Structure formats: C-alpha cells, structure tokens
Structure 1
C-alpha cells in the first residue's frame, strides 16, 4: 500500500513540469510514511511513497526494475495471490530477488502484458514504464478500491494517487462546473470526472496505454451480471449460502497475509462481524477495533461489537469519543481532502484509522456488503415500490401531508416524515430519476439554483444529462433489485464509500482490505436472484442466513444504524461563525463569484430553523467546497 505518481513529458514544455517530480511524490507522503524514492530520465519521472506491508526490506523498495532494466514499476495496493503467481513465473524461468508482490506483478506484466490483469486477485493502481518502447501502462483494480488520477495534454501525461500530487506539477486549475453541479447533488464527484476540467480518474476495471502524445483506454473487467440469468439461477438458496460462506472464507484467508500487525474494524453490524468471525478462525490472536460515541447513544454500537469480540475471543479495543473529540478532527479532515468530497462520516473513519494505526498497519473491513446484498434504506424502499401494494399507495397518496410536516434527521418523528416524503416523491419518478433522487441531497433544480448566473452559462444541461445517463446506464425502466445493486457498485461504492475509506485510512498510513470485494465473491453474488438478497422482512437476507449459525443471535433483528456525525449541532454552535462570517458570508460569496448568495441565504435560514430537513448535509457540501477553494485555488 503506497502512493504513486509520474510524468511522461512529450516536449520541452512538459519537461518543465517534470522537475516537480520530487515535490509531487512528497505531497503524498502520508500514504507511504516508510520510504520515498524517485526515478527520472530525460522524458519520464516516477515517484513512490512506501507503506511497507509485504517484504519490508529495502530490496522491495520502488520504483522497482526488472533484471534487464527495461521495465520499471510503481505500484499501490496488494496482490493477494502473488505466491501462486510467483510459482508459475519461476517455472517459466523468471528470477526473483525479493519476496514482494510488487516484483511478481512486474514480471507477470512482462510475461503477459495487459492479460496479466485477469489473473490478479487484489486491489491496485500501478504504472509500468517500458524504457525501450517509451510507453506507460497503467491499470486500476476491478472495483476502484485504489484511486488513479491523470492529466493528458499536448505537452505531457501525469498520474497520481491523489489530486494534491497532480497539483504539485503546476497544472492549470480550471474548475469543471458540470462536476460542481453534480457535486451539489451527490456531495461527491463520480469518475471519470474530477473538479478540474483537465484532470480525470481512470475508471475501475480499466487500463490505459500511453506513448508520446497518444493515449488509449480499455476496459478489462465488468461485473458479469445478466438480469435474466440471475433471476432464473437454479442454485438453491441453501446451496447458495454454503457457496457464499466458502468464497468469503477463502477471501478473508487471502487477506490475512502481511509482514506487519494486522487487525479488523468491528462495528457490531453483520458485515464486520462476518469478517471478524472468519478472520478469527484463521488468526487466533486477531485484534479488533471499534469506535463508540458517548454523546450519541443512538449511533453507539459498541455493545454489539464487544459481544462479537467476546464471542470470537479477539483482543478488542474501543475508542470512545465525545462530540468534542469528533469536532477536534474536522480541520484535519478538511485539510486532507484535495477534491470536494462531503461524506461527513469520513470524520469518524479518519479517527478510527488514526487510532487503529497505533496498534496495526493493516485492517480488514466490511465495506461493499451493503451495495452487494441490499443493506441500505433505499434498497428496502426500492423493493417496496417493485412489490408495492395498499400501504405503499397510501404513503404516496399522503404526499401533501408529508410535505408540510417538520423534517430533520435529528428527531425520530421528523426523520420519519422526511423518509415518507422521499418515498412518496420517489414513487412518482422513473427508475433512473428515483435512484438519482435517493442517491443525493438536492434536486437538480435546487443544485442549479445555487450557481451564480455567470457560472450556469459554463455548465451545460446537455453535458449534465449525458453524465447522469452514463452513470445510470444499467437501470432499465422496470429495474429490479439487482439492477439497483449493480448501479450502487458502479457509482456509490467507488466514488463515495471506497474513496472515503482510502482517503481517511491513507491520511493515517493504514492499509484497509475489503474481503467482500474479492472478485470471485462479487461474481457469485451477482449471479443470484434479487429475492436471495432482500425481501419484505430482511435486507442482506442471504448474508444473514449464511452466518446465522456462528454469529451471536443478539445481532439479528435490530435496526441498521450506520453513523452520522452531529453536523447540525456543530453548525448551530461551534461552526456557526465559520459558516456565517467566513466560508458562506455574503462578502466571500460575492467576491468568489460561483454561488448565488440569495440561495445560500435561504439554505442557512433553513439550517437554523425548526425544520432543517437535509440542509445540514447540503451546507456540509458547501463548507467542504469552500475550504477546498481557499486552500487550493
């Protein structure tokens, strides 16, 4: 696990950018606190920051060259099946001087070029430089666990693990206002776009070849989902449970290989409990970690985490936090974000990663299960609409009532009114529009109205519609639950959930491994009918049933809580001055010239009213953007 960056200069102008390779590498030092090295020749520069996990000796440092000195690699990630791949390569006569997965990956690429990608079980972004042919080959893992940003113009090609590294090359910073328009709805910017017009993100499951002033991008993996085949899959529910348990156990076993201390996040929910159960079976001294929230008892799941830890005899550590503890880390989180990204639970992930890093260098997590097995509220809502009856029709009929009731996430009754309003709104929409509405915090028109008149001209309705249609391309009008889950896997998972975990864990030099996102597990789960995953009683049905015999019974039949940081309280108290007198002040908004102040003022009034709705989430999106703007623009 590391940070990578590089440049391929096409002319003398590009060579001028190349002199920044050391600074660009240093910019991502938190991703790899153990070692830094840089290679450069006349036209190419490669930089690497190392977090030592497999073969921690100096011989495994990067940039790494093959024996012939023709090929050089910088690699971020882990290849979990590297030992078996190494044996295959040794039989072919490839020599090895280290015990690292990096060297295996380099030799596998030399042997099979882009075909090597289908053999890799792991998560990664990497670049191989062919010094003889003067080419770059870059790839990103199947599900986007590891990031890879790039810039390509007539002078140069740049790439990096994070935007802050790209910016060190001295690039032109032109905001993409279509990206901002989407950000104001979703609170994140989906790949392949970024906040800058000239910087893109390589899509998950894709690779790219770069030669002098030429770039070619290709897909090497798609989730093998066929709607008709999955719904008529003949595997029985019982046999599917057995196969799922087998695949998940194999996945967890693969992810226990490390030459440094390894533990697991344990929230007390089903997903992390399954990972802990399987990991403790093969690692008796497993150390588990969770955070508790002293001031937010509704969100505190430490009772369940302790129950699971005791059941599987893990060494368990709870980091018990107050709201003041959370608030104390807000500035650190905002400072690390180098592209607007406003999932506020990133604060909790940052603290969990920071505290876990004091005990371990690698942590397993339960990420990906909600998107694969239908664990979110929206999945239950979609399922109710797909199978709607009298109750659902009644909720839709009372839409005018829900609209006038107070709405807030911070009060149980007001939160229920908020949910009923969203459900009744969604019932009237097409599958695509319903998904988009439930994925975000603001309507398209609400987001557009936030932009200054001069900025609206720079954002295109046609471009927005094209991007939205591409992101929702797998949703037919009669979308079933598997269509919804596939869209989650391609949109929400890589661009929100995995981005959050990568950013916040890497800010603390912690590697997080995700057993549910082993491609063999994902391929199998998407071959199953939707009814195996959700029905009127259960979300994540097959996952719950498959492990019912080994997990504590108390974990079942309790509400999914998740976690939301107390933004509303902060905004009305500790952060009020920052919002009203600084980041969202009339003076700053007018001088900036991006937002329409009258709309900002309405949102602030809603925030401080008795009927805040989702205003705090939208304000957080603006706070993150404004902080980013001040720091980077």
Structure 2
C-alpha cells in the first residue's frame, strides 16, 4: 500500500514540471512512510512512497525496473494471487530478484500488456512506463478500492493517488462549479469529476494509455448488466458464498507485517472476524465507540463477537473533546471536499489501530452488494408492499409536524417516514438520486452564486435506472456509484492518512460476480436485508446481532456541531463578511441553514452544514 505520482511531458514547455516530481512525491509521505523513490527518463518522471507490507526488504523498493530498465512501475495496492502468477511466470523462464507482488505485476504486464488486468485478484492503481514505446500505461482496480487522479493539458500529463500530489506540480487551481453542485447534494464528488477544474478521477475498471501526446481511456471491467438465470438452490448458494468468502479472507491475510480486523458489532465486520479467526489463533480486533451517546455506540455487540471468537480485542472510546482535538488533522487529510461525517470515526479508528497493526480487514462493500441499507428496504417496500405504503401515507401528516433528524430514534423514524412517502411517488432514476442526496438541485442553486445548469453528467450516472428491472439494478448502481466515490474513498483517505492498509474481503471480484448472479429474493424480503449473508452465518454469529436496527458507522454530528464545533462554524461559515467576500455562496441561504440547524426540527441541515464547513476549510488550504 503506497502513494504514487508521475509526469509525462509532451514537449519542452512541459519539461520544467519534472523538477516538481520530488515535491509531489513528498506530499504523499503519510501514505508510504517507509521509503521514497524517484525515477526520471527524458520526459518522464515517476514517484513512489512505500508502506512495506509484502517483502519489506529494500529489494522491493519502487519505482521498480525490469528488463534492463525497459519497464518501470509504480504501484499502489496488493495483488493477492501474486504467488500463483509468479509460479506461472517462473515456468516461462522469468527470474525474480524480490518476493514482491510489484515485480510479478511488472513482468506480467511486460508479457501480456493490458490483458494482464484480467488475471489480477486484488486492489490497485499503478503506472508502467515503457522506454522503447515511450508510452505510459495507468490502471485502476475493478471496483475502485484504490484511487487514481489525473490531469492533462497541451504540455503534460500528470497523475497521483491524491489531489495534493497533482496540485504540487503548480497547475492552475479553480473550482469546478459542476462538481461543487453535485458535492453539495451528495456530500462527495463522483468520478470522473473533482473539485478542481481540469483534474479528473479515473473510473473503476478503467485504464489509460498515453503515447505521442495522445491519451485514450478504456474500460476493462464492468458488473453484469443483468441478473442471469440462477440454477443453484438457496442452500447451495449459501454453501458457495461460504466457500468464496473463506477464500477471499484467506487471500487477504497474506502479509509480512502485523494484521488485524475492524469489528464494529454489525453483521459485516462480524462475519469477516468469524472467518478470519479460523485462519489464525491470535486475531487482533478493534472497535470504536462514543462516550455518553448510546444511540451511536455498538461496542457491546463487537465485544460479544470478540468473546465468541476469542480475539485479542481492543475497544477505543471517544469523547466529543477528543474528536474535536483531532478535527483539524482529519480535515487536513481530505484532498478534496468530502463530507461523509463517518470519516471522522474511521480516521480515529485507523489512527488507534495503526498503533497495533499495519494491515486491517474491513467489512466494507457488503451493504452495497447484498442490500444492507435502509434505502434498500424502503425501495423493496415501494416495489412490493402496498400495505406498508398505505401505512406510511397515513403516518406522513403526523411525521411532517414532528421534529426530524438523524440523532435520535423517534426523530430519525419521522425523517424516514417523510422521505419514504416522497420517494414512493418517483420514477426509479429520480428516486435513486433523491435517496442518495442530502439536498436537491433547487436548494443548491439557491445556495450557489454560479449554479450549474448542466445535468448531462447526472443523467449519465443514472442512465441504467431508466431500464430498472429489480433491486439488483439498484445494487449495481450503488456498487458503481456510491461505493467507490463515498465509502471506499473515505476508507482510503482515512486509513492512508495513518499509514494503515485496509483490505476489503467482500469486494473480491470473484465473490462480487457471484453475488450479482443471485436473484433479488436471496438478498432481501419483507423482513430481512442481506438475507443470504445473514442466513449463511446465522449459526456462527452471536444471536444478539440479529433482529436489531441497522446503524451505519456514524457519529453524533448534530450535537457536536451545536456544541464542540460551534466556534469553528462561526469563524469559517457563519460569518457574513467572509461569505460575501468569498463570492461563492449566497449569505441568506447560509443564514437559513444556520437557523434550521439550531431549531427543534433540524432534519438533514447538519449534513449540509458539515459539507459547507469542510468545503470552506479545503478551499482556504488549497485555493
């Protein structure tokens, strides 16, 4: 796990930017504290920061060259089937000077070119330069677990693991108002957009080829576009799921450094813990909780799981004061505005976990592929449960009058009733966007002084929902859209900020392919989400984990904004002179949000206020 960056100058005008390669590489130091390497050749430069996990010796340092220097690679990620690939390459007469997956990947590319991507099991972003062809090849893993950003103009091509590496090359910095519009609705910016005009994210399952000043982008992987006929019984499907997940976890426990497991107390991380505990007698597990706020604390369930599987368990308990103490360092690691507030506890969990291990397994991805979110249950009921829809219509007038927020059981239920009754009147594409958003286009247009009027990108993202067939189409879009842009970005940013590698067994592409072959009724029904996952491990996990409300990995943001962070908000957001001088937002809309935040009926105002606060801090730092 590492940080990578590089430059390919197209002409003499672009060549001076090569002098900034070292500076760009150093900007990624926290992603790889163990070694820095630089490679230059004529008009090309590659930079690498290493977090040593597999073959920790100097033999595996990068940039890594093979074939007498013809090919040089910089690689971020892990190839979990590298040993099998290495055996195959050995049989073809290829000799190795390290035990690293990096060298295996370089030789595989030299032998097979872009077709090598089809043989990789892992998560990755890498770049390989060929001195003979004078070409650069860049690829990102199938599901977008590892990030890759790039920039091009008439003089050069730049790439990096994070935006700050690209900004280190001195490119122009101006806000992309189309990206800002989507960010203010979603609290993150979906690929290929970024908040800086001209910088783009490489989409999951894509690669770039750069040669002779020309750049071409290609897709090498996509999820099945429809659910094929499924011939296994439910019992057989559970057995297959059990087998595939065991294989995935086993692959992801390969490391030459200490390894542990996140354990939140939910089904997903508990399943991973259960499976991983079968591979080792000394599994370390880690969970995090909030002092004084039981609504957000699930640590008692995590401790039940730890006791059952006899793990070496550590619980970190956080106070509002401790969270506030770390706030500035958390926000400083956000390379572009990103306002999923669960990034805060993820950061602190990663920071504390890194004191014990270098690699951690996570349960991320299960909700998206198996249907674990509240919106999935709501969607199913809209499509299948007429009695429930009638009940919600009757409850809606009462819910409309009562306070609504995410910070309490009753207020959250009222919020859900109102959203459900709105969603059930919408067509699939419109409904999906509504359920994914914290604000709508009308609200963001009122807020922005330069609102976007181009909806083509949103229409492109939602195009698949125009042919909606069943819930698998919704899950497919979640896996392509929300997962890489929100969940996986959060985990990558917050873990790498603490030099911790996080591996996600549920996103082994062989497992994902199988799960998307499962019919809808194996994933969700009237009473159960993630049905097949829960049923497969029902006799394995503690019974207390079942039949309880699902909670995301959230924090008490509303209370915190009103107390611990209030002075920060007053300084950076609720200051009329600053907002008007900045010229991006209308002060009257900021003031309206402030009033709602401190009212008895805050609804989702705290999420929108947090998004604006994060943007303000980012804009002050980078622009």
Fold match, TM over 0.5?
yes
SS in structure 2 of the partner of residue 18 of structure 1: helix
Deviation string, structure 1 residues 66-85 (Cα, Å, up to 9, x no partner): 03210000000000000000
Within the candidate set 272, 276, 298, 2:273 is matched to 276
SS in 2 for 1:476: helix
- Alignment match, 1:423: 420
Q: What is the CA-CA distance between 1:399 and the residue it aligns to? A: 4.0
**How far apart are 1:478 and its partner, in Å?**
4.5
CA–CA separation in structure 1 for the residues paired with 2:458 and 2:519? 27
Aligned ranges 1:448-597 → 2 under 5 Å: 448-452=445-449, 455-456=450-451, 459=452, 461=453, 463=454, 465-476=455-466, 478-597=468-587
Q: In the TM superposition, what is the alpha-carbon distance from 1:477 to its structure 2 partner?
A: 5.6
Which range moved further: 471-480 or 415-424? 471-480
Residue equivalent to 1:214: 214
Counterpart-to-counterpart distance in 2, 1:582 and 1:137: 42
Q: Give yes or no for contact 1:225–1:527 (8 Å, CA) kept in 2.
A: no
Does 2:157 match 1:162? no
Which deviates more from structure 2 when the two are superposed, residues 7-16 or residues 76-85? 7-16
- Would you say the 8 A contact 2:249–2:276 is kept in 1? yes
The aligned residue for residue 6 of structure 2 is 6
Contact 1:346 1:500 in 2 (8 A): yes
Match of residue 373 from structure 1: 370
TM-score by length of 2: 0.98
Deviation string 1:487-509 (CA, Å, 9 cap, x unpaired) is 10011100000000000000000
Conserved 8 A contact 1:295-1:323? no
- Superposed CA deviations along residues 26-74 of structure 1, whole A, max 9, x for unmatched, are 0000000000011112211100000000000001000000032100000
Matches within 5 A, 1:48-59: 48-59=48-59
What residue number does 2:301 align with?
304
Partner in structure 2 of residue 383 of structure 1: 380
Contact 1:59–1:98, Cα closer than 8 Å, also in 2: yes
Gaps of 5+ in 1: none
Q: Which residue number corresponds to residue 62 of structure 1?
A: 62
Alpha-carbon separation, structure 1, partners of 2:535 and 2:258 = 32
Range with bigger deviation, 150-159 or 37-46: 37-46
Deviations 1:424-470 (A, max 9, x none): 11011111111101101011111111101xx13xx2x2x3x211111
* Contact 1:225–1:526 (Cα < 8 Å) also in 2: no
C-alpha distance in 1, partners of 2:112/2:342? 41
Equivalent residues of 2:572, 2:616 under 8 A apart: no
Match of 1:72 in 2: 72
Partner in structure 1 of residue 110 of structure 2: 110
Q: Residue 617 of structure 1: which of 570, 582, 607 is its match?
A: 607
Q: Secondary structure in 2 aligned to 1:8?
A: strand
Q: Aligned Cα RMSD in Å?
A: 1.2
Distance 1:118-1:478 versus aligned 2 partners, 3 A rule = closer
Q: Residues 323-368 of structure 1: CA distance to partner in whole angstroms, max 9, x if unpaired? A: 2222222111111111000001101000000001011000000000
Alignment match, 2:82:
82
Match of 1:340 among 323, 337, 340: 337
Quote the Cα distance in structure 2 between the aligned partners of 1:390 and 1:316.
44
1:109-188 to 2 correspondences below 5 Å: 109-188=109-188
Q: Helix, strand or coil for the counterpart of 1:474?
A: helix
State which drifts further: 28-37 or 465-474.
465-474
Other-structure match for 2:97? 97
Which of 435, 449, 471 aligns to 2:432? It is 435
Contact residue 474 and residue 486 of structure 1 kept, 8 A: no
Query: Residues of 1 paired with 2:415 and 2:594: CA distance?
Result: 19
Count of equivalent residues? 623
2:399 corresponds to 1:402: yes
Give the structure 2 partner of residue 247 of structure 1: 244
Offset of residue 576 of structure 1: 1.8
Task: Give the CA deviation at 1:153.
Answer: 1.2
**Greater Cα shift, 118-127 or 390-399:** 390-399
1:118-160 CA-partner distances (Å, limit 9, x unpaired): 0000000000000111110000000000000000111000000
Q: CA–CA distance in 2 between the matches of 1:184 and 1:400?
A: 28
1:397 positional shift: 5.3
C-alpha separation in 1, matches of 2:346 and 2:27: 21
What CA distance in whole angstroms lies between the structure 1 residues aligned with 2:396 and 2:315?
Answer: 43
What is the Cα deviation at residue 583 of structure 1? 2.8
> What TM-score do the two structures reach when normalised by structure 1?
0.97
Aligned-residue offset at 1:398: 5.0
Counterpart position of 2:292:
295
Mapped to 2, the partners of 1:625 and 1:100 lie a distance apart of 39
Q: Give the 3-state SS of the residue equivalent to 1:329 in structure 2.
A: helix
SS at match of 2:410: helix
Aligned twin of 2:320: 323
8 Å Cα contact 1:72/1:128 also seen in 2: yes
Kept in 1, the 8 Å contact 2:8–2:157? The answer is yes
CA distance in structure 2 between the partners assigned to 1:402 and 1:297 by the alignment: 24
Q: Distance in 2 between matches of 1:293 and 1:418?
A: 23
1:582 Cα deviation (Å)? 3.0
